[in-house]
Structure 1
Amino acid sequence: MSEGSAQTQSPPLSGLRVIDFTHVLAGPACAYFLGLLGAEVIKVESLDRGDAMRYRGGTDSERAEAGMSTAYLTQAAGKKSIALDLESSGGKAVMRRLIETADILVENHRPETMTALGFDEAKLQEMNPLLIHCAMTGYGRKGNMENAPAYDVNIQAACGLMALTGTAETGPLRTGAPVMDYATALAAGFAITAALHQRNRTGQGSFVDVSMLETAFTLMSSTITDFLVTGHSPQPRGNAANSRSPGAGNFTCKEGTLSLGVNEEHQFRALAKVLGRSHWLTDARFADRRSRKLNSTALEALIAEALLSRTADDWETAMIENGVPAARLRSLPESLALEQTAARRYLHRDVKSGLQLPTLPFRIGEIAAHVPAFSPPRLGEHSAEVLAMLGYSAAEIRALEALGVVNEPLANRSSTATSGA
């Protein structure tokens, strides 16, 4: 199949409608991923300021002040935005109509918030028995923490990951990026597609309960199992690999740092060859995995000494050519500039704004890339369009605008905001 013919195929989630009633990162990212796979995504935002992430996150204050922060832009493309007053009866009526027409509702509000709005899981099922309702919360339903507010940093602290990161000297450290948010978004997308498959078999919708805490646990699965089996509480190991192999870890080179992942016998033999240390293979201290572990301090020192003779860039090339798992430590700009990144088309350039935006970490079939259908929307940019799509007449839409149930079209409002997209 040629790339051109693959691109003409309908995306896998074409024909599905997603109501994105989310905010911050995890929820919006999940809906964004579904949109990249072809679903129609309608983002429901509060009437006054919308998604709080519009105004924070990132380092571009001008865009943030305009309600189009880089953090918001990351997972907003391909969505239609409607701004609603959900405290009003008219706003609730619009939301009900949206839900009745939807295949999927993605939301990341506390259960008590959804109940107060009249959109808890039981009522949603009554409104639309076919609905896949995906609720993403910090700790999941049930238990004494189901209504506890939580952000990525809170979950990193609560799950035990921070206690594993860093060293005895640094103390606990959070990861440099909001990995729990995006991992939860991926977990939710996985769960939603499974629920859709179930609906195809049963003809019934379902409630999908996604926990950020359990997502964090899942990312630590092997560590958790080791603790449960052995009773050994894991300790921070800095940059040492989980395998605890003396040939796995970060090493300083003549220039730069090299990450090695030498865990198997054939990999150690290849490492010795690349380093010009074939005599290690007949050295009793390093003859097998058990001996190397007993003499790990000596072996690590010898590897470190050998790597100082060349740059990390040189070593990376030589290691990979010989089948040794290795990577030069790169900054984010360097990594994004890799030929491999370009070949995969992970970054999408928005036609309207020229901005580059992340997409999906996988391809389905031979499609070259999954890209959003259009640019990130301003708050309520599609309110009138969505209402018309739901069957509201022009007069009814004007009446809702006059009552303050939805925002007026952007063209009718004065705005000093500069273009953020």
Structure 2
Amino acid sequence: MLSNRLSDITPSYTISISSKINDLKSLGINIIDLSIGEPDFNVPRKAKLSGINSLNENLTKYDLVPGLKHLREEICKKLKLENDLDYSIDEIVVSSGAKHSITNTILALTNPEDEILIPTPYWVSYPQITKLLNCRPIFIETKKVNNFKITSDDILKNMTSKTKLIIINNPSNPTGSVYTKKELSEIVEICYNNNIYILADEIYEKICYNENFVSVASLNENAKFITITINGLSKSCAMTGLRIGYTASNKTIAKAITTIQGHLVSHPSLTSQYIAYEALKSCSDDIDNMVSIYKSRRDLICKKLNSINNIDYIYPDGAFYTFIYIGNLKRNIKYDTSLSIAFCNKLLDDYHVAVVPGIAFGMDEYIRISFACNESIFLEGLSRIENFINEIN
């Protein structure tokens, strides 16, 4: 008999899409894949060499649970230089990817049945992690007019005596929206006054196009005290498979996270940590180049979308996704329970383009496309989407 906690867990839509893509590819069908939330770059060469050298020097034994000392020192330097945040190394915990950092944080802060506020649309794993840890996800509906960013009023309307935490994803997956300093300040004031922690998922921080990114914890001392910053190198340094994330928080929370991590996994792979250290220390030019390419792709994709009739979307100021509205097409698509799944399945079957249904993010009248791929690929994909929309109209 399996655990009861699995009864309320939704299978991954992205895994389902990947499985269908592989089935079609096995039949020799050329698929334009715009579903991938993964950089199409490689880990910077200097960083890879650092990992290779660590293996050659046999640096493969147990080390400190919260991460290599010199890696945490480098993270502190990064936070100070780029985010105007002062942290000591005992306030940093390096984990096996940002998902692990999020899980550690929720374990450290919540009790069973505590409520976690999750704005919609949300990254697919937030609700599932919340439920696996015996907490209750409380979904907060946001408004398109505000680019689906949560407001202080939204928090006031949805918080209860059991509210322990709110998740802020900035820049956002799937919308690419970026919060302003004023918007974050209002959120912090409400949360601080009501004893609500902020889990600030800033994994896409580097991929920000308006040069106005603000870390929540940098606003003031109150913000820093209640905020647990989640970050990592999977998106900025194309290190998705190397699984390095980290938290920055006050010492009490960091100690709690370290205790939890020590019993569950010890520490992340040392090889990955050595690669991460060098990526932070020496690879800023590689990161800047990636972001510059993403920005040019963003401009191209938005120009194309602007030329397609019956298309509306959220203009992405960060990340590498575009969130596209398909609600005006519902009369033209046959579906039983999910408009976005029916749209995506027909698009994949008839036009061989893979995108992610909005229902995966809690909004069924949208789809998400990724431009973490070659320009010729996403432009061809958009042309096929245009043809598909013209057909059903």
Q: TM-score range by the shorter chain?
A: under 0.3
What TM-score results when the alignment is normalised by the length of structure 1?
A: 0.23
- Structure number with higher helix proportion: 2
Looking at CA atoms only, which structure, 1 or 2, has the larger radius of gyration?
1
Instruction: Using CA pairs under 8 Å that are at least 6 residues apart, name the structure with larger relative contact order, 1 or 2.
Output: 2
What TM-score results when the alignment is normalised by the length of structure 2?
A: 0.24
